[in-house]
Structure formats: C-alpha cells, structure tokens
C-alpha cells in the first residue's frame, strides 16, 4: 500500500502517480466513501504536497471513474449504482472469459509456473487473513491472465473497467464466507489452466466474476441491503474548520 513516506520520498516526476495511488487505495478500502468530499487543503497538508500535484492526481482518478469533480464543490468520491455495477461487471466477465481462453492456448509452461507462484502467494495471504495483500495479488493474478491473452484491445478495455470497479471488488469479499468461496474458485481456475482446458478456464473465470459482482449489485457488500452504511471518519485526517464549507476550498 502507498504510504505517506512513499509520497514524501517520491521524485517530482513520480509525485502525481504516488498521490493518485494513495487516494485510489483509500477509496478502494472505503476510507473515503461514496459522496464524501475530498478537501484539497486538508489532503495537501496531510500528504505534504502542494495543490498542483494533488489536483493532477484527482484528475487521474476522475478519468478512472473513482472521483467526480463538481462545480463549486470540488472533488467527491464517485458513487456507482447497483445497475452500473451489474452492467460493467457483465462486460468485465465476458472480457476475462475471452482472455482466459486465449491465455490457456498461448501461455508457455514458464508463464503457468509464474502464475502458479502468484496464486500461492495470494493463497498465503488468504490463510493469514491479510485482505489488503490478498486483494493486491488477486488483482495481479487477474491482470496477468488478461495480459497472457496477448490482445492489446482486450487489455485496454479490461483495465478501464477494473479501475471503475476496484472498490466494489474489494468490498465484495468483506464477509468471510464470500472470501472463502472466491479462493476456492481461484483454485478451480488454476486447475483448468494447468490442464490447458481453455473452455473450462473461461467458464470458471466468468462464473467467478459473476458470483462476486452480481451478488454485490443485487445486495451490496454485506449481502443484505443496498442502503449506505453510516459514514466512517478517518482518524488520520487533520481537522480543519475551513473544510466544512464547500466555498472555503475551491476546486
């Protein structure tokens, strides 16, 4: 995870990317919630950067669909409706199914060994109960499968949709039983790859994404309701009276 120390030590050319990574991870992990304002003054002080790289980072997140930049209000965390999740998830599942079928045919033995190693690293994080590292490695596993397809257009479309669904994906495994099911599904995906059964691997991956995304779209991350939970307060953010008013911190 990107830390404040990482940002402080980043060279100027990489500063915007580091700030964007820090904010992205905090949105994904629900430290910043949908509809929550991202006050520039407070964030700039917390990250110890000027507003210029912060604004550039917010533009990156806006392009990814994680943030909205509103007139007279500034940046707020974007909300995604269950309907949008369902539509995007369907397209993503089709893309990953196609990628899996291509990857199964194109992957070298070395590619499969490397993906197996990544899978075991993810499984170790699951056994430790380390959700953050599990999620990070899980994303890498999915991205690696898509990359093995060798289809640049597929990779581009997949990356675009993944960025918009990062937060949903992280929250979809909040319940232990969902997480356990997801891990078991990954075992089946890897078994199909090792057998070089392209049709089976594609279907396993599509079913895996379908269960995760559509359950979230229908019921929310807790599997019970689409109502939003009470807002969480971040303990690390310094208080600033000026941030209470939208007019005090112009975009």
Q: pLDDT digits over 44-61, tens only? A: 999 999 999 999 999 999
Whether pLDDT at 23 is above 90? yes
pLDDT at 244: 34
pTM assigned to the model: 0.72
How far lies 21's CA from each of 4, 18, 53, 130, 229, in Å? 11, 5, 12, 20, 25
Average pLDDT of span 195-218:
84
φ/ψ (deg, to 5) at 63: -65, -30
Q: What is the mean pLDDT of the chain?
A: 82
Bigger pLDDT: 119 vs 90: 119
pLDDT at 175: 65
Q: Which residue do the tokens 């003054």 mark? A: 41
pLDDT at 86: 84
Under 8 Å between Cβ of 6 and 18:
yes
What 3-state class would DSSP assign to 68?
A: strand
pLDDT at 240: 38
What residue ranges define each of the domains in the chain, with the CATH number in brackets?
4-79 (1.10.10.10), 82-219 (1.20.120.530)
């Amino acid at each position: 995870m990107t830390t404040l120390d990482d940002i402080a030590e980043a060279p100027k050319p990489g500063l915007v990317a580091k700030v964007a990574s820090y904010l992205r991870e905090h949105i994904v992990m629900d430290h910043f919630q949908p509809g929550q304002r991202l006050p520039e003054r407070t964030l700039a002080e917390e990250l110890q950067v000027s507003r210029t790289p912060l604004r550039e980072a917010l533009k990156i997140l806006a392009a990814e669909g994680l943030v909205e930049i509103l007139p007279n209000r500034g940046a707020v965390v974007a909300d995604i409706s269950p309907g949008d999740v369902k539509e995007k998830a369907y397209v993503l599942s089709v893309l990953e199914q196609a990628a899996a079928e291509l990857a199964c045919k194109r992957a070298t033995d070395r590619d499969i060994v490397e993906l197996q190693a990544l899978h075991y690293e993810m499984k170790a994080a699951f056994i430790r109960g380390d959700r953050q590292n599990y999620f990070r490695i899980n994303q890498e596993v999915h991205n690696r499968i898509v990359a093995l397809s060798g289809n640049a257009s597929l990779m581009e479309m997949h990356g675009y949709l993944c960025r918009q669904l990062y937060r949903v994906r992280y929250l979809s495994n909040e319940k232990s039983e969902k997480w356990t099911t997801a891990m078991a599904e990954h075992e089946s995906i890897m078994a199909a790859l090792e057998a070089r059964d392209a049709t089976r691997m594609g279907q396993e991956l599509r079913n895996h994404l379908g269960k995760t995304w559509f359950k979230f779209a229908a019921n929310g991350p807790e599997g019970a309701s689409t109502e939003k939970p009470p807002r969480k307060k971040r303990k690390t953010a310094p208080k600033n009276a000026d941030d209470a008013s939208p007019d005090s911190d112009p975009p």
